[in-house]
């Protein structure tokens, strides 16, 4: 089993993709800390039930797991999540930063609270949990982190400025972790999941196109994402030197996303003025401008 005797934390593991990650890690031999505060999609409320139910499922299948209900959005609480792994199992080998909430709103109507709430859970939460585990990873000279990103950040989406910013920020965070922790044999990668879960079940279905899109999305099972998470946490991924990468999983498709690199340049020996930028630089580069796409424009074919 790829994760035999490894200790893994999965945040936001009370349902959906997180639950499937936790179950798959348990099946692969890992001892799992199932973290979930039991809140709504908007991050409201608290319920110990979801995390404990997933723990019970793992144990019923012959695995080992404990529940934790601390919030990733708080630094002290994030440290308690990691401490749960240390207290229960004596070490920490891997993290799947999956916890998330949605507060969708068009940018011009988005409140400060809606912005901060999403950034706190997704971006700050990923940093807090990974940072709390970093001293243990560093001292044992091993560890793996899987950070959940989204095409909302990688490509774009409407009505999700907070979520898109957080998810693209996670890509930068993940790359930085991969660079900073490489000498300690610690790896960090991202997964952009395509799956039908309660996180995206609020998508509007007012037009025929929207209804058709949702029906396509319902065919994408959350369990299809889990194998990639298990692989990225495993020693096999370490042997393959997989770190600093961005993968996408959609049904039976796996994608590798590129990183931002220069695609066109212009030079003027005399230097540039605003006027010459307008008359020369922009016309030269405009043909290479990326389109203002959203995720559905790029992934326009049905899941395979």
Say what the pLDDT of residue 214 is: 67
288's CB contacts (< 8 A; 6+ apart) are 263, 264
Q: Where are the beta strands (DSSP E) in the chain?
A: 7-11, 31-35, 64-68, 94-97, 143-148, 186-194, 246-250, 253-256
Catalytic annotation present for 163 = yes
Say what the pLDDT of residue 202 is: 53
The mean pLDDT value for 281-290 works out to 96
Please tell me what DSSP assigns to residue 281.
I
Residue 139 CA to residue 85 CA, distance in Å, equals 16
**Pairing outcome for strands 64-68 and 186-194:** unpaired
How confident is the model over 163-174, as pLDDT tens digits? 999 999 999 999
Say what the pLDDT of residue 200 is: 57
Q: Which CATH architecture has domain 7-256?
A: 3-Layer(aba) Sandwich (3.40)
What is the pLDDT of the chain when averaged over all its residues? 93
Say what the pLDDT of residue 304 is: 81
> In percent, how much of the chain has pLDDT > 70?
91
How confident is the model over 265-282, as pLDDT tens digits? 999 999 999 999 999 999
* Lowest-confidence segment of 39-53, 78-92, 104-118 by average pLDDT: 39-53
Phi/psi at 196 (nearest 5 deg)?
-85, 115
The mean pLDDT value for 107-122 works out to 98
Tokens representing 282 are 């922009």
**Pairing outcome for strands 94-97 and 246-250:** unpaired
The mean pLDDT value for 154-164 works out to 96
Say what the pLDDT of residue 217 is: 66
pLDDT reading at 198 higher than 60: no
* Lowest-confidence segment of 40-54, 63-77, 211-225 by average pLDDT: 211-225
């Amino acid at each position: 089993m790829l994760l035999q005797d490894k200790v893994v934390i999965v945040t936001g593991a009370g349902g959906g993709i997180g639950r499937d990650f936790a179950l798959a890690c348990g099946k692969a031999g890992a001892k799992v800390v199932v973290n979930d505060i039991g809140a709504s999609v908007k991050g409201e409320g608290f319920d110990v039930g979801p995390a404990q139910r997933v723990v019970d499922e793992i144990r019923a299948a012959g695995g080992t797991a404990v529940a934790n209900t601390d919030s990733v959005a708080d630094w002290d609480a994030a440290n308690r999540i990691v401490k749960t792994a240390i207290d229960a199992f004596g070490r920490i080998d891997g993290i799947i930063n999956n916890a998330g909430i949605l507060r969708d709103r068009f940018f011009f109507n988005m409140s400060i609270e809606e912005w901060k709430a999403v950034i706190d859970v997704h971006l700050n939460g990923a940093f807090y949990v990974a940072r709390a585990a970093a001293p243990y990873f560093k001292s044992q000279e091993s560890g793996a982190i899987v950070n959940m990103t989204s095409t909302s950040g990688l490509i774009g989406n409407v009505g999700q400025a907070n979520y898109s910013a957080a998810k693209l920020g996670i890509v930068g965070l993940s790359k930085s972790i991969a660079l900073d922790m490489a000498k300690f044999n610690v790896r960090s990668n991202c997964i952009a999941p395509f799956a039908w879960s309660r996180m995206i079940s609020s998508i509007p279905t007012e037009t025929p196109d929207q209804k058709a899109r949702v029906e396509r999305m319902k065919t994408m099972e959350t369990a299809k994402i889990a194998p990639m998470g298990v692989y990225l946490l495993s020693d096999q991924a370490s042997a393959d030197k997989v770190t600093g990468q961005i993968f996408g999983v959609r049904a039976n498709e796996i994608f590798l996303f590129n990183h931002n690199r220069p695609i066109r340049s212009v030079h003027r020996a005399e230097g540039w003025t605003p006027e010459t930028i307008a008359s020369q630089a922009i016309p030269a580069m405009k043909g290479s401008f990326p389109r203002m796409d959203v995720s559905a424009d790029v992934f326009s074919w049905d899941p395979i």
